[in-house]
Amino acid sequence: MVDDFKKHIDKLIKRKLKDKKYEFDYSSWLITLVEQEMEAIHPQSEFHWELFEVLSFDVLYKQSFKSLCDSGHPVARESLEKLGINDSEINLIINSVESVDNLFIEYCELFKDELLNKDNSLNEVHKKITELSLDCSQGTIISHSPKMTNPSCKYPRLNITASNSPDGFVRSGNSPVDFDMHINATKLKVFKFLSLKINGISLLELINDKNINVISSVFLANERLVNDWVLNFNSGLNEQDLRTHFAIKQIYFPVEKDYHQLSILSPSGLVFSLKNKIDHINDRSKEAYLGKKARKENQYVISGFSTIVNLTVTRHGGDHPKNISGLNNKYQSYYLLSSSPPAIKTRDLHFPRTDFFVQTVNYFQCKHAFHQLHTLYSRDDNNMHIRAERDEYYQSVVDHIIEKMWQVRSVALEQYIPTASQLSTAQKTWLCQQDEGKVLRETADDWLDEIIQSVSTFVFHGYEKILGKKAIKLGYAEHKHMQQIVIKNKEALR
């Protein structure tokens, strides 16, 4: 891509020098080219034409050198670096390119054939505009294209304008979009001409407002000629056809004793505006370029970049998109966003809503330890080895609770919902991962005393629940001993 720009520049220079071989200074030539004063968008000299050929060259797919400079894309700088131009001169060139009016490039592209007639190019352009104004009677400005439903639909032809409102809907009026046009495929230059923007205002709006002075000054035409153009355009632009078509999807709904019919049409301006924004995010923005380049080189990008995935690319009109509408011919295709239903994520662990010792841990998870404790309690002898083995089983139950505690904490940020939680204050401090809770957990002990009491109670009653009627009645002293075992794990429970 960057190499292609250099080849393009070399080709222009070679043509300019007419095969004379001597050293050429890219920098001074480009600076002189982009800094030249332009009194009108109509090319006045060969120098203007060279400027057009440099600025309109597509360095990236559908991104000209001019658009890359306007967006601050790094490829514009890389292209100039490839020509051996230093940083200060690059900045000067890019700043000068940004000041060039896009209208100049669009004008040269639209009237390229007429401008090739160097002797009388302005008259040729005026003749072409007159021809376009007459061809305009074959077209209609629309906002919703029926041919996007079926290419055979020639109507309805509607140009709907809606007010902007912060209602959260993606609908006509809530997003600035380009107008669309139904017209014979061979007359699409009418759409391109009306789409030209002068100081951000489309030519269509200027014609509707009959702004003769602005149009006259831009196209270097006398007011009488411009007035004829405006009359011709206005006679064919605003005709609408409200009929529906059998191929349009229809919805009937009852209204009192009758039915109301709704014809479903695609808002082509919104459809292609969405495509334009997605292309910018996925491919044309400098963030996407730098991010993909870093990913290819296995490097980390601090700023990151976004990508919209699972897009379905579709198009209207097959090999003849011109037959659908002006915007369809301009963008050629559009995207369908993924509309698959949300997937249900299986949870292996649930954050407790009311009580950790009821909803997260249960006695049966520790039944082996309780059965082994029953075996020890049933023995007639009682020595230090038996007591040590007993304490190990108590510790195994406590370890199980600590392990569950960490598992619950790992899902706390994702699953804990403050408004739905009925946990005690102590258990919230113990399990939740919010910053304020973590600070309290590390600095206070009141809540921890309640947790220690709950753990020792779990061990004490767990034995009785698992063994049932076979359980040996344990006394207060044994419960106190269990509590001492739990207290030894105080910091592990924190």
- Closest residue by Cα to residue 268 from 332, 220, 219: 332
Note whether 153 and 144 are within 8 A (CB).
no
Answer whether residue 155 shows pLDDT above 60: yes
pLDDT band at 355 (very low <50, low <70, confident <90, very high): very high
Half-sphere exposure (CA, 13 Å, Cβ side) for 255? 6
In this prediction, residue 404 carries a pLDDT of 92
Instruction: List 262's β-bridge partners, or say none.
Output: 251
In this prediction, residue 397 carries a pLDDT of 92
Other Cβ atoms within 10 Å of 141 Cβ, number: 23
In this prediction, residue 454 carries a pLDDT of 92
Contacts of 60 (CB under 8 A, 6+ apart): 1, 68, 73, 75, 284
For residue 437, CA distances in Å to 16, 62, 100 come to 74, 53, 58
Note whether 412 and 431 are within 8 A (CB).
yes
pLDDT band at 70 (very low <50, low <70, confident <90, very high): very high
Note whether 192 and 183 are within 8 A (CB).
no
Answer whether residue 332 shows pLDDT above 70: yes
Note whether 140 and 241 are within 8 A (CB).
yes
- 3-class state of residue 151 by DSSP: coil
Other Cβ atoms within 10 Å of 374 Cβ, number: 16
CA–CA separation, 271 vs 173, rounded Å?
13
Rg from Cα positions in the chain: 38
Burial of 194 (C-beta count, 10 Å sphere; 0-12/13-18/19+) = buried
Per residue in 181-224, pLDDT (tens digit) is 988 888 999 999 999 999 989 999 999 999 999 999 999 999 99
Per residue in 438-485, pLDDT (tens digit) is 788 888 888 888 999 999 999 999 988 888 888 888 888 888 999 999
Per residue in 139-149, pLDDT (tens digit) is 899 999 989 88
In this prediction, residue 191 carries a pLDDT of 93
- 118 vs 295, which has greater pLDDT? 295
